[in-house]
Amino acid sequence: MSVTTACVKRAFKYRFFPTDAQAAELSRTFGCVRKVYNLALAARTEAWARQERVNYNQTSAMLTVWKKTEELAYLAEVSSVPLQQCLRHLQAAFTNFFGKRAKYPRFKSRKKSRKSAEYTTSGFRFRKGELTLAKMSEPLDIVWSRPLPAGAQPSTVTVSQDSAGRWFVSLLCDDPSVKPLPATDKAVGIDVGLNRLLTLSTGEKIANPRHERRDRARLAKAQRALAKKAKGDGANRAKARRKVAKIHARIADRRRDTLHKLTTRLVRENQTLVIEDLTVRNMVKNHTLARAISDASWREFRSLLEYKAAWYGREVIAVDRFFPSSRLCSHCGALRERMPLSVRTWTCDGCGTVHDRDVNAAKNLLAAGLAVTVCGAGVRPQRRTPGGQSAMKQKTPRREP
């Protein structure tokens, strides 16, 4: 009896260039998706105030009624598939809210919300490498920057437009090429930072590209030009806003490319990867370091590392953020009382070992992560100071009262 492994669902994202008619159709679809989402959210919110619950089936019936009204008759002019999909997304948002995994769903803004529409198999045709969406007579002009898996048939297609005006299509397919890698005995501790993007327990230090800083002057100039434009929907202000968005998109693309290359390399080389469970949301409240932390994108690094490890049969361990990895001697285990961020090298009072702050932290993270593996889940690798208080790693400077 042969054992078959389920293929990994993988999204392949490409840029495309729509014709004027296709762009107009997609723009109408984006607007209708936003309108239906907001109408359904308002209906469910009103029902919630009356202590009633409205599910997907009820909102789907509401959509049929809305299309028959004179005011919302334009909803019938676009494909019904993206409209139904946005109702399913709203249902998922409420499921996460009731499961205490997310906040209450918010209304979509015309200017700030992401412009996207999702099509299932009944809403598109994919034949001979050409993708044609519902309500369109011509296929999309897609730039196939990389091939799809052999014989792949997309299960869903998501079309989106970013704030810089670029059009993208994402095809969700089964990818049989994603399989667990051969097991290895290598393990690595990873300490994230600002002076160095990553420091590994092997002693390797990976430089921080600082993508935002490289384009900061150009971004500031574009933002000043935007600030001088009169508020409103004028063409000049829209052009200036698009120029700022293009610079932000350039920064984000380069940052994402760097993180993808780093995480792929780390996952391929190591069986166990140990990181620190940082609360980036709280750390960016420090206005001195918020810009640098956001540019380093620690949260995205962890997200990429975790899903790639799941793909290839690797293990990612997150050590408790209160673990004093920087102040703990990786040689003898002695704990130092205080260590300001300005101290990059220090000498252990117990054994006299000279430590590089970041390398020492990565080594301690690795040891703590391996201890979690041996002791089992739920272990908080935490040390106590001689005074009995919890030892906290100092990632951000604190002001003394």
Q: How far apart are CA 310 and CA 10, in angstroms?
A: 13
Name the 3-class secondary structure at 230. Answer: coil
Q: Report pLDDT for 376.
A: 56
The pLDDT assigned to 5 comes to 53
Residue in 276, 295, 349, 356 annotated catalytic: 276
For residues 173 and 155, the answer to whether their CB atoms sit within 8 Å is: yes
Q: What's the rounded Cα separation, in Å, for the pair 195 and 292?
A: 9
Cα distances from 139 to residues 17, 21, 122, in angstroms, run 11, 12, 15
pTM over 0.75: yes
Q: Is position 233 annotated as part of the catalytic site?
A: no
Active site (annotated) includes residue 212: no
pLDDT in tens, 305-333: 999 999 999 999 999 888 888 888 888 88
**Residue 359 tokens, joined:** 């390398």
The residue to which tokens 């693309």 are assigned: 253
> Is 315 one of the catalytic residues?
no
Which tens digits make up the pLDDT trace of 227-276?
Answer: 998 887 688 998 999 999 999 999 999 999 999 999 999 999 999 999 99
Location of structure tokens 């940052």: 255
Lowest mean pLDDT among 109-123, 204-218, 337-351: 337-351
Q: Which residues contact 323 (CB under 8 A, 6 or more apart)?
A: 276, 364, 365, 368, 380, 381, 382, 383, 391, 393
Write down the mean pLDDT value for the chain: 88
Q: How far is CA 146 from the centre of its chain?
A: 22
Catalytic position from the list 118, 191, 212, 295: 191
**Which residues make Cβ contacts (< 8 Å) with residue 165, sequence separation at least 6?**
242, 245, 246
